[in-house]
Structure 1
Amino acid sequence: MRVLAGGMTAYAAQRFAARTAVTTEAGSLSFAELAAAAYRFGSGLRSLGLRPGDRVGVLSYNRAEVVQAWLGLEAAGLVRVVLHSHFDMAVHADLLTHVEAAVVVFDTRFAAAIEPYRDRLSRVRFVAIGDGPPVWATPFATVLAAGSPDDPQLDVDEETPVCIQPTTGTTGAPKPWTFTHRSWRGWVGQNLQHLDTFADGISAVGPDDVNLHIHALQWATGAQTLYPYLLRGARTVLLDDRTFDPAHAVDTLVAERVTGVLVPAPMLTPMLDVIEARGGIEHRLRRLVIFFATPELLERTTAALGPVWCHGFGSTEQGAVTTRLLADDVVGRPDRLASVGRAASPLLEVSIMDVAGQPVPAGEVGEIVVRSAMSSSRYWNLPERTAESFHAGGWFRPMDLGYLDADGFLFYVDRAKDCIQTAAGVVYPHLIEAAVLRHPAVANCGVVGLGNDGEQRVVAAVMLKADLAPSTQLLNEIAAGARAGLREHEWPQVVAVAELPTVLGGAKVRREVLRDQLERA
């Protein structure tokens, strides 16, 4: 089957032409202006000699040009390669070489990081977004000027790639997952269904909604919410994510009358600190998507903002949101606060299997597996990795562990490779981290096993909130508080660190790196 490459952009521009599509601190663009700029960019790259199927890396903080690039590349049949801003440039160079990228579009604030790798990337052309473009890069405006504002009306096979999205790199080198036009549309459809059914009595996403991006657009916030809101004529507000100011994020949420936002838990915590310090805020939030939350954080969110949240779970390859726990799900059932909910839509199936690909009974820990149009793809030029990532029947294996209860609620346990092997049994770091994070002094936490397999000890590295200094008394208090509900061999030794090795602005702790740091300490 063939599809119109930029069909979703054309759909939104035709229906909502004069409405505001994107707002940044630099100004706003209407849907018609956004589409025209996107088409100019895509055709401008084509004028440089690029052809459908060529790969184009995008490395930038949140800005309107990123949205223009995403939409323009898709309409031109070019393959967007996401370059996460939190990765070292050496990782980007490896990925760009692996996918044989033709162009890299970059925010000029990354110019100094790119410079040492230009020889290695000698076949790559560079396009610079922002002030002060280096002499070795073509300004973004020059590419726009070379293009046409008209829809290229390009038909493509639905199984051709539209995007390469690397995994987040928490369990080793990032792996380049390929989204085809079919699986990408499946992703957007999944998230539309998810957002439209967020709570009983809530209206579907529409032109009166405002979607705020405070986290990296090129991670989940863009992949999960950008297209769904644009397709319904809603306004997108972008905050520069180079640094995170929780007070500014809260101010923007109020001033822009935001109705939807995705926030990782480590960023939500300081935002709640601000809200509580102000004695609450007047807001219009209806859809707050949270990742990596604890039960205590969800209860705190309800108290501060109301039951406007869901707790999402998923991975790059699965097409998040895979499962979600809605605020309504826990009414009268506080035990469900520890779960990540049920399948976020009927477009996706979730199961638990053993390593042989056989289903396991409710309540038994096994591999979380999913299947849908979103996960019906492959890693770019990694056939062996792709083959080992699927069970028979099209079930994708993200290598996460968990169990389903009798009502189909998923309880996430941990990454399979991160399990700690103690003399008394297996310990799942995720569960220990949740216990440690209950203490109000802890800003973030990472748990690892130190020592030889079978004899490892559980160590929790904590980053304290900014106004607190570590002391033996405080660390002992955190450790004692974490023991409630844990078995004795799960009790952690708690140590303080000035900073945790994380990705995505603190959203995920890189446990392998943390383990190496603690072993060297």
Structure 2
Amino acid sequence: MLTDLDKAFDAEIANLTQPGTQFAVKQGTVRGAEMPVFENAPPSMREYFDLFFGAQAAREFTVYEDERRTFGEIFEEAKHIASALQHEYGIAKGDRVAIAMRNYPEWISAYVGIIYLGAVAVPLNAWWTTEELEYGLTHSGTSLVIADEERLRRISRIEGLTIPKICVRTSASVCSENGARPLKDMLAASPREMWYVHPLGQDDDVTLMYTSGSTGNPKGAVSTHGGLLHGAMNYLASGLAMLALAEKEGTKLPEQQVMLLNVPLFHITGSVPVLLISIAIGRKLVIMYKWDPTEALRLIEKERATYFVGVPTMSLELLQHPDRDKYDTSTLLDIAAGGAPRPAEHVKRLTDAFAARPAIGYGLTETNGVGAGNIRDNYLAKPNSTGRASKPMVEIGIKDEDGSNMPAGERGEVCIRSAANVRGYWRNPQATLESFSPDGWFHTGDIGYLDDDGYVFIVDRKKDIIIRGGENIAAQEVEAAIYAHPAVAEASVVGLPDERMGEIVGAVVYLKPGEQVERESLLQFLTEDLAKFKIPERIWIVKEPLPKLGSGKIDKVSLRTRYRAEHLGKAA
């Protein structure tokens, strides 16, 4: 039975989206499929930026260490970047421009500028190795990359890479040594106005974001302007509905919301529900270069942060921090999570420890982050659920192998349909065909069920993916790196439960007869090919060949069951 909160929220959404309102919803056609769309969505993200940056211009937007910049200042820099890319490098509509850096104010201005120009923003994972960055740059067909110092050094090791490199937060000498041009020099040499403004529409491409797949190489999910707009507007509608409920409850709200930005902007959570919504509502972003729980507590107190979102690991580290009570966290209104499941027991512990209300969301790169959400008392009542489909755009169905809907309580593949879904995978029509149905459903690869109230419960994954602290890791990629060692005969990689990270990578390895390899030596070998977060944290080197199925394939199910149990037994 729906709770009073569910009913009140649904009523606010219905009021917000009725005909004649800014968020009015109608039936529309998206890539041949009928589904709800926002009737008054802007023509493109350019108009979205013009509208909201203009409305928030005088407000403080970013805080990074001792630097403070307004919405107007960031937007002016973004438009200048757009002009410089056009004048200095001939970047045009549809060209791919990559961003390879950790969280900085320049990440935001680069992203906004690339999109404003009409080019396609390609946010690259800042934790990738040189080889992974090479794949992303070459596969995407990137025309130019904007990078910070650490990423610039990695990119410069790519042989034969000829695309221009723009450097950020890097000394002139290091930029020169690595064949890059400082961002400030590019801006100084270029006029502030574009010489030609390319017309943009909702069907034009806007972002290309890489997501790890079960088959190794990441897939590039391509969103259109319409997809990104509908994702952002869906979050906005939900936020406005919650704001209306808060006002009716008499909750005193701050003049400006303040978010501790601790998730990577190159992730979908960082770029859509964090960045794009902050631009729309005038929310200040207190930027953390990298996660540190002590620094997070200090910044929450100093900047009077009202909102925190991260992978469940982060809120757990705040919860367990020995000095937590020494910091004033009373301004926090919400502690949200996404990217990985949050253990049910943590939900009540967070509620008891903080005045803020816990929440969790479920979305994917392919859905522009929108999917489902569970909030407040509903989350306490159903802590194992990721919530109901996000209104007003999202439909969630549990499908069997034939694509038919499963009844409540029955397990199947979780599928999501909305106008926010990306249009497909870059240069991968087969993967697009397998994951996106003609009637608009995206097949997530997650196994779950819906209860009678429409709450989603994720119970397993169809694809061989390990989610460590919000990062997707393809088991096959790690196995391939292990098999590259000359002493390895067989290997199987599985996800192991972990209270802090959600899952960690485990590997079971059988060596060739007569070979001997120490675990430390194997781990050192893997650092040459794998990013740090993909390297197994537990390795079992066994004396017998790995168990096989009748088909001759390694029996991963039995291995996963056995070594998860062994891992938990040893960890207890």
**TM category, shorter:** 0.7 to 0.9
Counterpart in 1 of 2:117?
A: 76
Counterpart in 2 of 1:166?
A: 210
Which residue of the other structure, out of 207, 210, 221, is the alignment partner of 2:258? 210
CA contact (8 A) 2:260 2:296 kept: no
Change in 2 beyond 3 A, CA 1:92/1:228: same
Equivalent position amino acid for 1:77 in 2: G
Counterpart in 2 of 1:301?
A: 350
Alpha-carbon distance in structure 1 between the residues aligned to 2:289 and 2:214: 24
Deviation at 1:187, TM superposition (A): 1.3
Counterpart in 2 of 1:368?
A: 414
Counterpart in 2 of 1:312?
A: 361
Whether 2:126 is the aligned partner of 1:85: answer: yes
Alpha-carbon distance in structure 1 between the residues aligned to 2:55 and 2:258: 17
Counterpart in 1 of 2:90?
A: 49
* TM value normalised by structure 2: 0.72
Structure 1 residues 49-448: aligned runs within 5 Å: 49-117=90-158, 119-122=159-162, 124-132=163-171, 133-135=174-176, 136-150=179-193, 154-168=198-212, 172-198=216-242, 201-202=245-246, 208-219=256-267, 220-241=269-290, 244-274=291-321, 277-278=324-325, 281-291=328-338, 292=340, 293-306=342-355, 308-330=357-379, 333=381, 336-418=382-464, 433=497, 437=499, 445-446=503-504
Counterpart in 2 of 1:27?
A: 67
Alpha-carbon distance in structure 1 between the residues aligned to 2:146 and 2:254: 31
CA contact (8 A) 2:61 2:68 kept: yes
Alpha-carbon distance in structure 2 between the residues aligned to 1:102 and 1:357: 39
Report the secondary structure of 1:312's partner residue: strand
Whether 2:18 is the aligned partner of 1:18: answer: no
Report the secondary structure of 1:217's partner residue: coil
Deviations 1:264-315 (A, max 9, x none): 0122221212276526733212232212211112122111113522111121
Alpha-carbon distance in structure 2 between the residues aligned to 1:445 and 1:459: 16
Alpha-carbon distance in structure 2 between the residues aligned to 1:44 and 1:207: 36
Deviations 1:152-202 (A, max 9, x none): 754212211111011145763211000111111011112222333448832
Alpha-carbon distance in structure 2 between the residues aligned to 1:319 and 1:145: 35
Equivalent position amino acid for 1:187 in 2: G
CA contact (8 A) 1:212 1:238 kept: yes
Deviations 1:337-384 (A, max 9, x none): 111111122211001001211111111110000111111511112111
Alpha-carbon distance in structure 1 between the residues aligned to 2:244 and 2:322: 26
Alpha-carbon distance in structure 1 between the residues aligned to 2:318 and 2:279: 26
CA contact (8 A) 2:170 2:182 kept: no
Change in 2 beyond 3 A, CA 1:111/1:397: same
Counterpart in 2 of 1:507?
A: none
Counterpart in 2 of 1:479?
A: none
CA contact (8 A) 1:61 1:216 kept: yes
Alpha-carbon distance in structure 1 between the residues aligned to 2:91 and 2:465: 45
Alpha-carbon distance in structure 2 between the residues aligned to 1:271 and 1:287: 14
Deviation at 1:321, TM superposition (A): 3.4
Alpha-carbon distance in structure 1 between the residues aligned to 2:139 and 2:348: 44
Change in 2 beyond 3 A, CA 1:280/1:17: closer
Deviations 1:96-146 (A, max 9, x none): 1122111010001223212210x3322x11000012242110111122223
Change in 2 beyond 3 A, CA 1:5/1:217: closer
Deviations 1:78-111 (A, max 9, x none): 1110101122221221121122111010001223
Deviation at 1:392, TM superposition (A): 4.2
Change in 2 beyond 3 A, CA 1:376/1:16: closer
Alpha-carbon distance in structure 1 between the residues aligned to 2:356 and 2:289: 28
Alpha-carbon distance in structure 2 between the residues aligned to 1:456 and 1:185: 41
CA contact (8 A) 1:210 1:259 kept: yes
Counterpart in 2 of 1:492?
A: 565
Structure 2: tracts of 5 or more residues without a match: 1-40, 467-493, 509-545, 550-554
Deviations 1:31-67 (A, max 9, x none): 2211110011111011122111111110001101001
Q: Percent identity?
A: 25
Alpha-carbon distance in structure 2 between the residues aligned to 1:33 and 1:491: 51
CA contact (8 A) 2:58 2:71 kept: yes
Alpha-carbon distance in structure 2 between the residues aligned to 1:51 and 1:392: 31
CA contact (8 A) 1:2 1:155 kept: no
CA contact (8 A) 2:363 2:371 kept: yes
Alpha-carbon distance in structure 1 between the residues aligned to 2:314 and 2:262: 9
Equivalent position amino acid for 2:86 in 1: R
CA contact (8 A) 2:301 2:327 kept: no
CA contact (8 A) 1:209 1:260 kept: yes
Alpha-carbon distance in structure 2 between the residues aligned to 1:457 and 1:179: 35
Counterpart in 2 of 1:471?
A: none
Alpha-carbon distance in structure 2 between the residues aligned to 1:489 and 1:16: 55
CA contact (8 A) 1:78 1:162 kept: yes
Change in 2 beyond 3 A, CA 1:409/1:63: same
CA contact (8 A) 1:263 1:290 kept: yes
Report the secondary structure of 2:175's partner residue: coil
Deviation at 1:458, TM superposition (A): 6.0
Alpha-carbon distance in structure 1 between the residues aligned to 2:243 and 2:352: 17
Alpha-carbon distance in structure 2 between the residues aligned to 1:247 and 1:101: 38
CA contact (8 A) 2:307 2:334 kept: yes
In the alignment of these two chains, the number of paired residues is 449
Equivalent position amino acid for 2:393 in 1: L
CA contact (8 A) 1:449 1:459 kept: no
CA contact (8 A) 1:5 1:154 kept: no
CA contact (8 A) 2:330 2:356 kept: no
* TM value normalised by structure 1: 0.79
Deviation at 1:3, TM superposition (A): 2.7
Alpha-carbon distance in structure 2 between the residues aligned to 1:40 and 1:496: 57
Report the secondary structure of 2:157's partner residue: helix
